[in-house]
């Protein structure tokens, strides 16, 4: 096993320029990532539409998101083994077919039950797109350029939550809900043809047998844990039996997998990678950042719609400055991370995010949109300097043989952290609103067609909306604290160029892409 700690440093500037073939591979991966990530946020926008269309309640409609998330959780642990057994190209093409087929089925679902089932099919395909894509990109570019290619992959990861509400609003308002799924079909076909042409079959696959014990522990464990965590948003508490039972069972299965993986010769996922100090620090940093970032991301559109009374489309457009900021810094930070290490950029990015998000701890019901958009732009600048350099710090220290496990590990942890962040902020927000009935009435007035309860003045006093804004600003404070905590592990990230890993065992593996 290669031992790579990231502690040794190269001298001299590395070649960080991305050649044509690496850019082609990046194009394939970005197309797949766009489909997978956009689909999550677009379906979030359509929840009210599903309730009306299929005559179901909020809990029933929420399963269209939960079913997809559980399928992702169940299939992500298979990524490393599948890549080794069948080759990255075959697995990636199969994932694209599954996702596209699932999209077609979703568009023609006759009822909410079938829609949820077809969303699971989508999730089975979507769950492999990101880890397999990261494997292909990392191997194609090599450790010297992993920051640059991660910056390319980071664009859909950061822009998805921002552009999703805009796209979803346009499609639902101008066409119909069916198009939030049908739009994936042409993208999926283009991505499949593009991938078929650009990607080469792996020169050699190990044909390894699957770790069934590990699979039976990790996949259901991760799915149950995320199901429990996600259920907390619906129940508005973490102490309900419906939340605690699956969460605890899932956590116990994950712990059992960890014990098994550390003893097995060929585990489903090699956790011995955590001996790599740089990877371990990067994972801790990423977990804290994802919980804070995706928790806060949930609040922005809810404030615009619930407190300010904006439409879904307008809320999406108001979030655009965040994406613009990220687009400016992400490519620069990616290239410079390869030359100078991730530490300086991640710390600077966190400071910018803190500055931008602090403004949201002082929200009112009439806070200037200029101030809000300016703060979002500053946050975007920080995000572009943070998320991808963190992932680059982990993957740049891995040899080719370690990349499949490393990529799968990062994606599983990222999905878990995202779900935790969303759940924590949802429960805090719901609990705060429950304690402030006037705030709940203000949001109800802006988001529901139902008449206000008897005895409630109509229109509502402005003080009700001020109280709702206070609830959001107090909840944003939690995200600010979590972002601030991210500084601690980020301080220990390498601040000089990370050394290339030793790759003697990879020399006979051959390229996996066109060269």
Q: What is the CATH number of the domain that holds 335?
A: 1.20.1250.20
In a domain, 10, yes or no: no
Give pLDDT, residue 104. Answer: 92
Same domain, 260 and 275: no
User: Do 219 and 82 touch, CB atoms closer than 8 A?
Assistant: no
In a domain, 3, yes or no: no
Q: Among candidates 292, 282, 497, which has minimal Cα distance to 379?
A: 292
The answer on pLDDT for 218 being more than 80 is yes
Same domain, 117 and 245: no
Helix%, strand%, coil% for the chain, nearest 5: 75, 0, 25
In a domain, 513, yes or no: no
The answer on pLDDT for 406 being more than 50 is yes
Give pLDDT, residue 316. Answer: 75
In a domain, 451, yes or no: yes
In this structure, which long-range contacts are made by residues 44-49, counting pairs with CB atoms below 8 Å and at least 24 apart in sequence? Answer: 44/164, 44/165, 44/168, 45/164, 45/165, 45/168, 45/169, 45/172, 45/180, 45/312, 46/168, 46/172, 46/177, 46/180, 49/172, 49/177
Percent of the chain with pLDDT over 70: 80
In a domain, 365, yes or no: yes
Same domain, 229 and 368: no
Same domain, 27 and 168: yes
How many whole angstroms separate alpha carbon 24 and alpha carbon 27? 5
Q: Helix or strand or coil: residue 199?
A: strand
- Give the CA dihedral 328, 333, 336, 337, nearest 10 degrees: -170
Mean pLDDT for 127-156 is 72
Q: Among candidates 131, 138, 154, 129, which has minimal Cα distance to 39?
A: 129
Same domain, 218 and 277: no
Boundary-marking domain end, from 251, 267, 283: 267
Mean pLDDT for all residues in the chain: 77
User: Per-residue pLDDT tens for 459-479?
Assistant: 777 777 888 888 888 888 988
Task: Please tell me which residue, 170 or 489, carries the higher pLDDT value.
Answer: 489
Task: Please tell me which residue, 502 or 349, carries the higher pLDDT value.
Answer: 349
How many domains is the chain partitioned into structurally?
A: 2
The residues, any chain, with a CB within 8 Å of residue 37's CB and separated by 6 or more, are 156, 157, 160, 161, 164
In a domain, 9, yes or no: no
Same domain, 238 and 291: no
Give pLDDT, residue 272. Answer: 81
The end-to-end CA distance of the chain, in Å, is 27
Task: Please tell me which residue, 499 or 377, carries the higher pLDDT value.
Answer: 377
In a domain, 7, yes or no: no
How many whole angstroms separate alpha carbon 53 and alpha carbon 482? 38
User: Per-residue pLDDT tens for 364-375?
Assistant: 888 888 999 999
In a domain, 446, yes or no: yes
Give pLDDT, residue 252. Answer: 93
Q: How many helices (H) and strands (E) does the chain have?
A: 20, 0
Give pLDDT, residue 512. Answer: 33
Same domain, 188 and 336: yes
Q: Which two tokens stand for residue 438?
A: 């006037």
The answer on pLDDT for 329 being more than 70 is yes
The residues, any chain, with a CB within 8 Å of residue 197's CB and separated by 6 or more, are none
Give pLDDT, residue 374. Answer: 93
How many whole angstroms separate alpha carbon 275 and alpha carbon 186? 43
Give pLDDT, residue 458. Answer: 67
Task: Please tell me which residue, 293 or 457, carries the higher pLDDT value.
Answer: 293
Give pLDDT, residue 208. Answer: 63
Same domain, 53 and 117: yes
Task: Please tell me which residue, 144 or 269, carries the higher pLDDT value.
Answer: 269
Neighbour-count burial for 194-225, b at 16+ CB within 10 Å, e otherwise: bbeebbbebeebeeeeebeebbebbbbbbbbb
Boundary-marking domain end, from 244, 267, 290: 267
- With cut-offs at 50, 70 and 90, classify the pLDDT of residue 162: low
Boundary-marking domain end, from 267, 282, 297: 267
The answer on pLDDT for 67 being more than 70 is yes
How many whole angstroms separate alpha carbon 329 and alpha carbon 332? 5
The residue segments making up the domain with residue 379 are 20-210+268-506
Same domain, 195 and 310: yes
Specify the length of the chain in residues.
515
Same domain, 259 and 304: no
Q: Helix or strand or coil: residue 313?
A: helix
Task: Please tell me which residue, 408 or 159, carries the higher pLDDT value.
Answer: 408
Task: Please tell me which residue, 83 or 160, carries the higher pLDDT value.
Answer: 83
Q: Helix or strand or coil: residue 513?
A: strand
How many whole angstroms separate alpha carbon 88 and alpha carbon 221? 25
Percent of the chain with pLDDT over 90: 5
How many whole angstroms separate alpha carbon 202 and alpha carbon 305? 48
Same domain, 325 and 366: yes
How many whole angstroms separate alpha carbon 416 and alpha carbon 410? 10
Same domain, 262 and 368: no
User: Per-residue pLDDT tens for 91-107?
Assistant: 888 898 999 999 999 98
pTM of the model: 0.75
Mean pLDDT for 438-457 is 71
Q: Which two tokens stand for residue 457?
A: 């003045």
């Amino acid at each position: 096993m290669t031992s790579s700690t990231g502690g040794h440093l190269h001298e001299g500037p590395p070649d960080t320029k991305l050649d044509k073939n690496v850019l082609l591979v990046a194009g394939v991966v970005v197309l797949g990532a766009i489909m997978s990530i956009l689909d999550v946020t677009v379906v979030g926008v359509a929840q009210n539409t599903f309730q009306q269309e299929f005559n179901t309640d909020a809990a029933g409609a929420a399963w269209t998101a939960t079913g997809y998330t559980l399928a992702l959780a169940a299939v992500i642990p298979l990524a490393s083994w599948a890549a080794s057994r069948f080759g990255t190209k075959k697995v990636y093409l199969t994932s694209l077919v599954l996702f596209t087929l699932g999209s077609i089925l979703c568009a023609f679902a006759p009822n909410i039950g079938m829609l949820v089932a077809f969303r699971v099919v989508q999730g089975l395909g979507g769950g492999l797109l990101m880890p397999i894509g990261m494997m292909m990109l990392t191997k194609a570019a090599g450790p010297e350029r992993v920051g640059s290619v991660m910056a390319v992959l980071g664009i859909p990861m950061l822009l998805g939550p921002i552009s999703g509400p805009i796209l979803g609003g346009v499609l639902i308002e101008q066409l119909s809900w069916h198009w939030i799924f049908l739009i994936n079909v042409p993208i999926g076909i283009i991505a499949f043809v593009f991938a078929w042409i650009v990607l080469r079959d792996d020169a050699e696959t190990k044909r390894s047998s699957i770790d069934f014990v590990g699979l039976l522990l990790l996949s259901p464990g991760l799915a149950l844990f995320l199901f429990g965590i996600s259920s907390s948003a619906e129940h508005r508490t973490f102490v309900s039996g419906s939340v605690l039972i699956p969460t605890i069972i899932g956590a116990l299965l994950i712990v059992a997998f960890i014990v098994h993986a550390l003893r097995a010769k060929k585990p489903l996922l090699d956790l011995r990678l955590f001996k790599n100090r740089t990877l371990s620090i990067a994972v801790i940093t990423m977990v804290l950042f994802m919980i804070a970032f995706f928790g806060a991301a949930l609040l922005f559109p809810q404030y615009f719609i619930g407190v300010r009374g904006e439409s879904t489309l307008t809320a999406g457009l108001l979030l655009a400055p965040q994406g613009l900021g990220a687009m400016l810094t992400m490519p620069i930070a990616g290239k410079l991370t390869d030359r100078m290490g991730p530490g300086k950029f991640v710390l600077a990015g966190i400071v910018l995010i803190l500055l931008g998000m602090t403004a949201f701890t002082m929200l009112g019901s009439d806070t200037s949109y200029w101030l809000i958009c300016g703060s979002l732009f500053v946050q975007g600048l920080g995000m572009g300097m943070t998320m991808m350099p963190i992932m680059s710090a982990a993957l740049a220290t891995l040899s080719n043989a370690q990349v499949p496990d490393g990529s799968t590990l990062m994606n599983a942890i990222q999905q878990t952290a995202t779900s935790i962040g969303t759940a924590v902020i949802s429960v805090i927000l719901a609990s705060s609103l429950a304690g402030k009935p006037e705030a709940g009435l203000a949001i109800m007035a802006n988001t529901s067609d139902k008449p206000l309860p008897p005895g409630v003045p109509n229109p509502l006093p402005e003080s009700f909306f001020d109280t709702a804004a206070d609830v959001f600003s107090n909840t944003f404070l939690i995200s600010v604290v979590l972002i601030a905590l991210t500084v601690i592990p980020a301080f220990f990230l390498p601040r000089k160029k990370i050394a290339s890993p030793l790759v003697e065992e990879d020399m006979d593996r051959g390229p996996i892409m066109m060269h």
